[in-house]
Amino acid sequence: MLGGLVNALRIPDLRRRVLFTAFMLILYRLGAHIPVPGVDVTAIQRLFRQQGNIFNLLDLFVGGALSRFALFALGVFPYITASIIMSLLQVVFPQLKEMATEEGEAGRRRLAQYTRYLTVVLAVIQAIGQTFLIRNLGALPDQRPLTFALIVSTLTAGTMVLTWMGEIMTEYGVGNGVSLLIFGGIVARLPDQTARTVALIGVGELAWWQFLLDIAVVLASVVVVVGATLAVRKIPVQYAKRVVGRRVYGGQSTHLPLRLIQAGVIPIIFAISVLQFPGTIAQFTNIPWIQRVGQEILPGRPIGDLLYFVLIILFTYFYTAVSFDPNEISENIKKYGGFIPGIRPGRPTTEYLSRVVDRLTLVSALLLAVIAIAPVYLVRGTGVLTFSLSGTAMLIVVGVALETMKQIEAYVLMRHYEGFMR
């Protein structure tokens, strides 16, 4: 991977894209360390140490910005929630789906604009909820309405800046910009977490065998995640011979690769975003039982973990159904004179592909959910696994890294072909 990245940097255009992506990630980390004005950061950090996994998991995905109540404390989760809502609306309202498919680039731009408007609304709601939270916990010394409005507007602006950064990173950089921002937030926590683990060993609070077991679990998790991410089910496809003029086309055997985890890390990110939003809404009120319910549904609590598990499975099925259309694949195979051995073209091919995809989706959904949840209970049961790079974070980091490297390799391959043609 490192060798491929070094070779990619030799291409001027790709080097500019990589450096642009790195520069935007540096700006993101800078904004994650600038606190919002009018907030007692010391009191908020004390709160995070007391609350444990409830808020620390959310803080992990924004690179520590939430515990500092920084400019980017909300992260890109309002944008992700808005994207989920727009995807669901396309299923309910066919007009929106036709806008994306029939109107081409103009329709997709209009949908993207609607998503941004919805992001602003959700960011305002979430910013108000977070501000109510720190006010109820005594971390807001100045409670004047003007200070309240300043904090809400600052958090909302930070989210929209991150959304813009993610979009231009996708267009002018390498990889998916929004995923890379979450990736950067997780990776940025690793040096501090490693230093704390080594310090615990130095004072005798953590045994050296626990540290070695910790590393072994992390490495084993990387192997499992990489294997599951790269695993494919190859469907054989045979193309019949065709005579066009004096030339003979086709007559070759190939395969249709179906990835085991077609949805990638999107279901994980969607599930976290959905679970975070009700907890934020619960902070609008001072009623204790509503706030308690809002905290119980967050990951790290039994009910929250169960909802997290179920949502990952549901979003895996949903995203796979949106991104993979068996009918379209079947029509394309039939149009070019291809067929799956033993399966008739047309509707039987569509039904066969649907059955295969359903089975793969069931396995991938359960695998994603288990990998995301299991490390939490491993920590509680054994006291090891002190690194942040585990479970959900592991899936996101490895998945985003593999997808980014695939895009870089595809770009390098395209440039090699262009050089050969010249």
- Per-residue model confidence as pLDDT tens digits over 291-325: 777 777 776 677 888 888 899 899 899 888 877 88
Measured between alpha carbons, how far apart are the two ends of the chain, in Å?
A: 28
pLDDT for 178 equals 87
User: Do both 279 and 256 map to the same domain?
Assistant: yes
CA 209 to chain CA mean position, Å: 33
pLDDT for 164 equals 93
pLDDT for 8 equals 63
User: Do both 157 and 199 map to the same domain?
Assistant: no
pLDDT, tens digit, 9 for 90 and up, residues 39-80:
888 878 777 766 544 566 677 778 778 888 888 988 888 898
CB 412 within 8 A of CB 4: yes
- Listed residues 165, 188, 211: the one ending a domain: 188
User: Do both 70 and 157 map to the same domain?
Assistant: yes
Range(s) of the domain holding residue 63: 1-188
Q: Which residues are CB-neighbours of 408 under 8 A, at least 6 positions away?
A: 4, 5, 8, 14, 18, 174
DSSP for residue 36: P
- Listed residues 133, 160, 188: the one ending a domain: 188
Helix (H) or strand (E) segment spanning residue 85 = helix 77-92
CB 70 within 8 A of CB 32: yes
Long-range contacts of 5-11 (CB under 8 A, 24+ apart): 5/405, 5/408, 7/412, 8/408, 8/409, 8/411, 8/412, 11/411, 11/412, 11/415
Residue tagged 């179906």 (tokens) = 258
C-alpha–C-alpha distance, residues 277 and 304, integer Å: 13
CB 129 within 8 A of CB 283: yes
In this structure, is residue 367 part of a structural domain?
A: yes
Number of structural domains, the chain?
A: 2
- Name the stretches of the chain with pLDDT < 50: 52-53, 387-388, 418-422
Between helix 12-31 and helix 145-172 the angle, nearest 10°, is 170
User: Do both 240 and 182 map to the same domain?
Assistant: no
Q: How far, in Å, are 2, 202, 353, 389, 394 from residue 384 at the CA level? A: 30, 16, 42, 13, 16
Stated pTM of the model: 0.77
DSSP for residue 254: E
For the domain that residue 60 is a member of, what is the CATH number?
Answer: 1.10.3370.10
User: Do both 33 and 74 map to the same domain?
Assistant: yes
